[in-house]
Amino acid sequence: MNKLCQIAGLGICVPERVLSNHDLEQIMDTNEEWIVSRTGIHTRRILDASQGTSDVGFFAAQKAILDAGIDASEITHIFVATCTPDYLSPSVSCLIAARLGLSAYSGVSTISPTTKSLMCLDFNAACSGFVYGLEVARAFLALDSNAVVLLIAAEALSRRMNYNDRSTSVLFGDGAGAVVLRSKGDSFLTVHDVSCGTDGDLNELIQIGGGTNMNVVVGDTVKEDFFLNMQGRDVFKHAVRCMVQESLKLLSRNNLTIDDVDLFIPHQANARIIEAVGSRLEIPAEKVFTNVSEYGNTSAASILLALDDARKAGKVEAGKKTLITTFGAGLTWGSALLS
Protein backbone atom coordinates (compact mmCIF):
# COMPACT_ATOMS: atom_id res chain seq x y z
CA MET A 1 0.00 0.00 0.00
CA ASN A 2 0.98 3.60 -0.58
CA LYS A 3 3.04 4.95 2.35
CA LEU A 4 3.79 8.36 0.91
CA CYS A 5 1.62 10.27 3.34
CA GLN A 6 1.87 9.61 7.07
CA ILE A 7 0.28 11.43 9.99
CA ALA A 8 3.10 12.28 12.38
CA GLY A 9 1.17 14.56 14.72
CA LEU A 10 -2.38 15.64 15.52
CA GLY A 11 -3.77 18.55 17.53
CA ILE A 12 -7.12 20.25 18.03
CA CYS A 13 -8.44 23.44 19.55
CA VAL A 14 -11.99 24.41 20.41
CA PRO A 15 -13.08 27.74 21.91
CA GLU A 16 -13.80 27.73 25.66
CA ARG A 17 -17.26 29.26 25.33
CA VAL A 18 -20.04 26.64 25.32
CA LEU A 19 -23.36 27.31 23.57
CA SER A 20 -25.93 24.86 24.94
CA ASN A 21 -29.40 24.03 23.71
CA HIS A 22 -30.70 25.85 26.78
CA ASP A 23 -28.77 28.97 25.67
CA LEU A 24 -30.41 28.70 22.24
CA GLU A 25 -33.85 28.45 23.88
CA GLN A 26 -33.22 31.94 25.29
CA ILE A 27 -32.65 33.53 21.86
CA MET A 28 -35.00 31.65 19.51
CA ASP A 29 -38.19 29.57 19.43
CA THR A 30 -36.63 26.14 19.92
CA ASN A 31 -36.30 23.49 22.59
CA GLU A 32 -33.88 20.86 23.84
CA GLU A 33 -36.15 17.98 22.83
CA TRP A 34 -36.39 19.10 19.17
CA ILE A 35 -32.68 19.77 18.80
CA VAL A 36 -31.57 16.51 20.41
CA SER A 37 -34.09 14.31 18.62
CA ARG A 38 -33.42 15.88 15.17
CA THR A 39 -29.67 16.40 15.45
CA GLY A 40 -28.18 14.64 18.50
CA ILE A 41 -26.43 17.91 19.38
CA HIS A 42 -26.29 19.10 23.02
CA THR A 43 -23.56 21.76 22.94
CA ARG A 44 -21.28 23.63 20.53
CA ARG A 45 -18.18 25.77 21.10
CA ILE A 46 -18.32 29.39 19.98
CA LEU A 47 -15.51 31.87 19.43
CA ASP A 48 -15.45 35.11 21.40
CA ALA A 49 -15.86 38.32 19.39
CA SER A 50 -12.13 39.02 19.68
CA GLN A 51 -11.12 35.65 18.15
CA GLY A 52 -11.05 34.39 14.57
CA THR A 53 -10.44 31.21 12.60
CA SER A 54 -6.67 31.71 12.66
CA ASP A 55 -6.67 31.68 16.49
CA VAL A 56 -8.10 28.18 16.85
CA GLY A 57 -6.11 27.06 13.79
CA PHE A 58 -2.88 28.30 15.31
CA PHE A 59 -3.40 26.54 18.65
CA ALA A 60 -4.35 23.28 16.91
CA ALA A 61 -1.22 23.61 14.75
CA GLN A 62 1.00 24.15 17.78
CA LYS A 63 -0.33 20.95 19.36
CA ALA A 64 0.12 18.95 16.13
CA ILE A 65 3.74 20.14 15.83
CA LEU A 66 4.42 19.19 19.45
CA ASP A 67 2.75 15.81 18.94
CA ALA A 68 4.91 15.16 15.85
CA GLY A 69 8.04 16.05 17.81
CA ILE A 70 9.29 18.40 15.10
CA ASP A 71 10.45 21.99 15.13
CA ALA A 72 8.14 24.38 13.29
CA SER A 73 11.05 25.41 11.07
CA GLU A 74 10.93 21.94 9.46
CA ILE A 75 7.52 22.72 7.89
CA THR A 76 7.64 23.29 4.14
CA HIS A 77 3.91 23.72 3.37
CA ILE A 78 1.00 25.10 5.38
CA PHE A 79 -2.42 24.29 3.97
CA VAL A 80 -5.60 25.56 5.63
CA ALA A 81 -9.01 24.13 4.78
CA THR A 82 -11.67 26.67 5.70
CA CYS A 83 -14.84 28.27 4.40
CA THR A 84 -14.74 30.90 7.15
CA PRO A 85 -11.35 32.64 6.79
CA ASP A 86 -10.41 35.67 8.88
CA TYR A 87 -10.16 37.75 5.68
CA LEU A 88 -10.81 37.19 1.97
CA SER A 89 -7.11 38.02 1.82
CA PRO A 90 -4.53 37.44 3.28
CA SER A 91 -4.93 33.72 3.79
CA VAL A 92 -5.33 32.04 7.17
CA SER A 93 -2.23 29.99 6.36
CA CYS A 94 -0.11 33.16 6.08
CA LEU A 95 -1.50 34.43 9.40
CA ILE A 96 -0.66 31.14 11.10
CA ALA A 97 2.80 31.00 9.51
CA ALA A 98 3.56 34.38 11.07
CA ARG A 99 2.40 33.24 14.51
CA LEU A 100 4.51 30.10 14.22
CA GLY A 101 7.52 32.36 13.67
CA LEU A 102 8.00 31.21 10.09
CA SER A 103 7.56 34.58 8.42
CA ALA A 104 11.23 35.36 9.08
CA TYR A 105 11.95 33.55 5.83
CA SER A 106 10.15 36.23 3.83
CA GLY A 107 12.05 38.97 5.65
CA VAL A 108 15.53 37.95 4.48
CA SER A 109 17.24 40.66 2.49
CA THR A 110 18.74 38.25 -0.03
CA ILE A 111 17.02 35.14 -1.30
CA SER A 112 19.63 32.53 -2.15
CA PRO A 113 19.35 28.89 -3.27
CA THR A 114 19.71 27.88 0.41
CA THR A 115 16.86 30.06 1.68
CA LYS A 116 14.20 27.76 3.05
CA SER A 117 10.96 27.60 1.05
CA LEU A 118 7.55 27.80 2.68
CA MET A 119 4.31 27.60 0.73
CA CYS A 120 1.09 28.82 2.39
CA LEU A 121 -2.24 28.03 0.78
CA ASP A 122 -5.90 28.15 1.84
CA PHE A 123 -8.60 26.23 0.06
CA ASN A 124 -12.36 25.98 0.46
CA ALA A 125 -14.03 22.60 0.21
CA ALA A 126 -16.44 23.49 3.03
CA CYS A 127 -17.07 20.55 5.38
CA SER A 128 -15.03 18.28 3.07
CA GLY A 129 -11.91 20.39 3.61
CA PHE A 130 -9.89 17.92 5.69
CA VAL A 131 -10.34 15.01 3.28
CA TYR A 132 -9.64 17.27 0.29
CA GLY A 133 -6.58 18.52 2.16
CA LEU A 134 -5.25 14.99 2.58
CA GLU A 135 -5.39 14.57 -1.19
CA VAL A 136 -3.65 17.92 -1.75
CA ALA A 137 -0.96 16.97 0.77
CA ARG A 138 -0.45 13.57 -0.85
CA ALA A 139 0.26 15.28 -4.15
CA PHE A 140 2.85 17.62 -2.63
CA LEU A 141 4.51 14.79 -0.70
CA ALA A 142 4.73 12.85 -3.95
CA LEU A 143 6.49 15.84 -5.54
CA ASP A 144 9.03 16.16 -2.73
CA SER A 145 9.79 13.32 -0.33
CA ASN A 146 11.41 15.83 2.07
CA ALA A 147 8.27 17.95 2.35
CA VAL A 148 6.68 18.40 5.78
CA VAL A 149 3.07 19.50 5.41
CA LEU A 150 1.07 21.18 8.15
CA LEU A 151 -2.58 20.65 7.21
CA ILE A 152 -5.04 22.65 9.30
CA ALA A 153 -8.84 22.52 9.12
CA ALA A 154 -10.25 25.52 10.96
CA GLU A 155 -13.69 27.09 11.04
CA ALA A 156 -15.68 29.83 12.72
CA LEU A 157 -19.16 28.99 11.45
CA SER A 158 -20.73 30.93 14.33
CA ARG A 159 -19.69 34.09 12.45
CA ARG A 160 -22.11 33.17 9.69
CA MET A 161 -25.04 31.88 11.75
CA ASN A 162 -28.37 33.61 11.30
CA TYR A 163 -29.93 33.02 14.72
CA ASN A 164 -33.33 33.91 13.21
CA ASP A 165 -33.05 30.70 11.16
CA ARG A 166 -33.71 28.08 13.80
CA SER A 167 -33.43 25.02 11.58
CA THR A 168 -29.82 25.80 10.58
CA SER A 169 -28.27 27.87 13.37
CA VAL A 170 -28.65 25.13 15.99
CA LEU A 171 -26.36 22.82 14.02
CA PHE A 172 -22.98 24.54 13.79
CA GLY A 173 -20.03 25.27 16.08
CA ASP A 174 -16.43 26.48 15.87
CA GLY A 175 -13.13 24.63 16.15
CA ALA A 176 -9.95 23.50 14.47
CA GLY A 177 -7.76 20.46 13.98
CA ALA A 178 -4.31 20.08 12.48
CA VAL A 179 -2.03 17.28 11.33
CA VAL A 180 1.64 17.12 10.42
CA LEU A 181 2.06 15.00 7.29
CA ARG A 182 5.29 13.63 5.88
CA SER A 183 6.58 10.60 4.03
CA LYS A 184 9.48 9.73 6.36
CA GLY A 185 10.04 9.29 10.09
CA ASP A 186 7.75 8.22 12.93
CA SER A 187 4.01 8.41 12.46
CA PHE A 188 0.91 7.05 14.13
CA LEU A 189 -1.22 6.63 11.00
CA THR A 190 -0.71 6.24 7.26
CA VAL A 191 -3.03 7.76 4.67
CA HIS A 192 -3.50 4.90 2.21
CA ASP A 193 -6.02 6.28 -0.22
CA VAL A 194 -8.29 9.27 -0.72
CA SER A 195 -11.22 9.77 -3.06
CA CYS A 196 -13.04 13.07 -3.59
CA GLY A 197 -16.22 14.08 -5.44
CA THR A 198 -18.01 17.29 -6.42
CA ASP A 199 -21.36 18.39 -7.83
CA GLY A 200 -21.34 22.13 -8.51
CA ASP A 201 -24.83 21.98 -10.01
CA LEU A 202 -26.13 21.69 -6.45
CA ASN A 203 -24.18 24.70 -5.13
CA GLU A 204 -27.36 26.50 -4.06
CA LEU A 205 -28.22 23.91 -1.40
CA ILE A 206 -25.65 25.39 1.04
CA GLN A 207 -24.27 28.88 0.61
CA ILE A 208 -22.44 31.39 2.80
CA GLY A 209 -22.46 35.01 1.66
CA GLY A 210 -19.90 37.75 2.04
CA GLY A 211 -17.98 37.13 -1.16
CA THR A 212 -17.80 39.19 -4.32
CA ASN A 213 -21.23 38.12 -5.52
CA MET A 214 -22.49 40.70 -3.00
CA ASN A 215 -22.08 44.27 -4.19
CA VAL A 216 -21.60 45.86 -0.78
CA VAL A 217 -20.85 49.55 -0.34
CA VAL A 218 -19.76 51.38 2.80
CA GLY A 219 -22.70 51.88 5.13
CA ASP A 220 -24.74 48.89 3.92
CA THR A 221 -26.15 46.57 6.55
CA VAL A 222 -25.80 42.83 6.03
CA LYS A 223 -28.87 40.89 4.95
CA GLU A 224 -29.84 37.23 5.37
CA ASP A 225 -27.77 36.10 2.39
CA PHE A 226 -24.63 37.13 4.28
CA PHE A 227 -25.16 34.13 6.55
CA LEU A 228 -25.18 30.39 5.99
CA ASN A 229 -28.30 29.36 4.10
CA MET A 230 -29.11 25.69 3.77
CA GLN A 231 -31.91 23.56 2.37
CA GLY A 232 -31.66 21.02 5.17
CA ARG A 233 -33.88 18.22 3.89
CA ASP A 234 -32.24 18.07 0.45
CA VAL A 235 -28.78 18.30 1.98
CA PHE A 236 -29.59 15.40 4.27
CA LYS A 237 -30.43 13.09 1.34
CA HIS A 238 -27.39 14.03 -0.73
CA ALA A 239 -25.09 13.78 2.31
CA VAL A 240 -26.12 10.21 3.05
CA ARG A 241 -25.99 9.12 -0.61
CA CYS A 242 -22.58 10.69 -1.33
CA MET A 243 -20.81 9.52 1.82
CA VAL A 244 -22.08 5.96 1.37
CA GLN A 245 -21.22 5.74 -2.34
CA GLU A 246 -17.77 7.34 -2.02
CA SER A 247 -16.86 5.05 0.90
CA LEU A 248 -17.92 1.94 -0.99
CA LYS A 249 -15.97 3.09 -4.06
CA LEU A 250 -12.85 3.66 -1.97
CA LEU A 251 -13.11 0.28 -0.25
CA SER A 252 -13.74 -1.51 -3.53
CA ARG A 253 -10.70 -0.07 -5.28
CA ASN A 254 -8.57 -1.18 -2.33
CA ASN A 255 -10.07 -4.70 -2.47
CA LEU A 256 -11.67 -4.22 0.93
CA THR A 257 -15.20 -4.57 2.26
CA ILE A 258 -16.91 -2.78 5.11
CA ASP A 259 -16.08 -5.80 7.31
CA ASP A 260 -12.39 -4.87 7.02
CA VAL A 261 -13.00 -1.46 8.61
CA ASP A 262 -12.13 -1.25 12.33
CA LEU A 263 -13.25 2.33 12.93
CA PHE A 264 -15.59 4.56 10.96
CA ILE A 265 -15.48 8.34 11.42
CA PRO A 266 -18.07 10.15 9.30
CA HIS A 267 -18.41 13.95 9.11
CA GLN A 268 -20.01 15.05 12.38
CA ALA A 269 -22.94 16.86 10.75
CA ASN A 270 -25.67 15.47 12.92
CA ALA A 271 -26.50 12.19 14.60
CA ARG A 272 -29.27 11.23 12.18
CA ILE A 273 -27.02 11.57 9.12
CA ILE A 274 -24.32 9.56 10.91
CA GLU A 275 -26.82 6.82 11.80
CA ALA A 276 -28.22 6.72 8.26
CA VAL A 277 -24.74 6.44 6.70
CA GLY A 278 -23.67 3.74 9.19
CA SER A 279 -26.83 1.74 8.63
CA ARG A 280 -26.63 1.90 4.80
CA LEU A 281 -23.00 0.79 4.94
CA GLU A 282 -24.08 -1.97 7.35
CA ILE A 283 -21.28 -1.19 9.74
CA PRO A 284 -21.86 -2.15 13.41
CA ALA A 285 -22.76 0.87 15.57
CA GLU A 286 -19.84 0.17 17.94
CA LYS A 287 -17.39 0.85 15.08
CA VAL A 288 -18.92 4.26 14.34
CA PHE A 289 -17.30 7.13 16.23
CA THR A 290 -19.24 10.28 17.01
CA ASN A 291 -18.79 13.37 19.16
CA VAL A 292 -21.34 15.60 17.40
CA SER A 293 -23.27 15.78 20.67
CA GLU A 294 -20.49 17.90 22.18
CA TYR A 295 -19.27 20.06 19.28
CA GLY A 296 -22.09 20.16 16.70
CA ASN A 297 -21.08 20.50 13.07
CA THR A 298 -17.67 22.22 12.88
CA SER A 299 -17.44 21.86 9.09
CA ALA A 300 -13.87 21.09 7.91
CA ALA A 301 -12.67 20.57 11.49
CA SER A 302 -15.24 17.94 12.42
CA ILE A 303 -13.36 14.78 11.41
CA LEU A 304 -10.19 15.96 13.15
CA LEU A 305 -12.07 16.71 16.38
CA ALA A 306 -13.49 13.19 16.20
CA LEU A 307 -10.17 11.57 15.23
CA ASP A 308 -8.47 13.24 18.19
CA ASP A 309 -11.17 12.05 20.62
CA ALA A 310 -11.07 8.55 19.12
CA ARG A 311 -7.29 8.45 19.47
CA LYS A 312 -7.49 9.56 23.11
CA ALA A 313 -10.05 6.79 23.68
CA GLY A 314 -7.52 4.26 22.32
CA LYS A 315 -9.59 3.50 19.23
CA VAL A 316 -7.04 4.65 16.63
CA GLU A 317 -4.09 2.34 16.14
CA ALA A 318 -1.53 1.86 13.41
CA GLY A 319 -2.42 -1.31 11.51
CA LYS A 320 -6.14 -0.94 12.22
CA LYS A 321 -8.19 0.45 9.36
CA THR A 322 -9.98 3.74 9.91
CA LEU A 323 -12.40 4.92 7.24
CA ILE A 324 -13.32 8.61 7.24
CA THR A 325 -15.93 10.21 5.04
CA THR A 326 -17.31 13.70 4.63
CA PHE A 327 -19.75 15.92 2.79
CA GLY A 328 -20.32 19.64 2.44
CA ALA A 329 -21.19 22.73 0.44
CA GLY A 330 -20.21 22.78 -3.19
CA LEU A 331 -21.43 20.13 -3.16
CA THR A 332 -18.23 18.37 -2.15
CA TRP A 333 -17.59 15.01 -0.54
CA GLY A 334 -14.81 12.53 -0.01
CA SER A 335 -13.55 9.44 1.81
CA ALA A 336 -10.11 8.39 3.00
CA LEU A 337 -8.61 5.19 4.29
CA LEU A 338 -6.13 5.45 7.19
CA SER A 339 -4.31 2.75 9.12
- In the complex, the residues that contact ligand UT7 under the rule CB under 6 A are 30, 34-35, 38-39, 127, 166-167, 170-171, 230, 232-233, 235-236, 239, 269-270, 273, 297, 327-328
Pairing of β 189-198 and β 228-230:
unpaired
Is 52 within 8 Å of 124 (Cβ atoms)? Answer: no
153 backbone φψ class: left, alpha, beta (φ>0; ψ -120 to 50): beta
Of the pair 119, 271, the CB lying nearest ligand UT7 is at: 271
Instruction: Give least dist CB 157 to ligand UT7, A.
Output: 10
Q: Does residue 297 have an active-site annotation? A: yes
Contact 325, 186 (CB under 8 A): no
Residues 63 and 67: their CA atoms lie apart, in Å, by 6
Q: Name the residue nearer to ligand UT7 (CB basis): 4 or 242.
A: 242
Question: Count of H helices and E strands in the chain?
Answer: 10, 13
Minimum separation from the CB atom of position 270 to ligand UT7 (A): 5
With beta carbons less than 8 A apart as the criterion, state whether 309 and 289 touch: yes
Candidates 13, 21, 192, 267; catalytic one: 267
What minimum distance in Å lies between the beta carbon of 24 and ligand UT7? 7
Residue 114 CB, shortest distance to ligand UT7, in Å, is: 45
Q: Which is nearer to ligand UT7, 84 or 270 (CB)?
A: 270
* 127 noted as active-site residue: yes
Q: Report whether 128 contacts 330 (CB < 8 A).
A: yes
> Which residue's CB is nearer to ligand UT7, number 36 or number 98?
36
Altogether, the residues listed in the chain come to a count of: 339
Reply yes or no on whether 267 is catalytic. Answer: yes
Name the E strands within the chain: 5-13, 18-20, 43-45, 77-81, 119-123, 148-156, 174-182, 189-198, 206-208, 228-230, 263-266, 322-328, 332-338
Q: Cβ–Cβ contacts within 10 Å for residue 287, how many?
A: 17
- Quote the least distance from Cβ 63 to ligand UT7, whole Å: 25
Catalytic residue, candidates 5, 120, 127, 242: 127
By the 10 Å C-beta count (0-12 exposed, 13-18 middle, 19+ buried), 201 is classed as exposed
Dihedrals phi, psi of 309, to nearest 5 degrees: -65, -40
Nearer to ligand UT7, 8 or 196 (CB): 196
Its sign, for the CA torsion 274, 280, 286, 287, is negative
Nearer to ligand UT7 by Cβ, of 32 and 186: the residue is 32
Dihedral (Cα; 193, 277, 241, 1), 10-degree rounding: 10
Nearest distance from residue 282's CB to ligand UT7, in Å?
22
Q: Which residue is nearest to ligand UT7 (CB)?
A: 232
The distance of closest approach from Cβ of residue 207 to ligand UT7 in the complex, given in angstroms and rounded to an integer, is 12
- H-run or E-run covering 68: helix 53-68
Between residues 30 and 103, which has the closer beta carbon with respect to ligand UT7? 30
Catalytic residues: 127, 267, 297
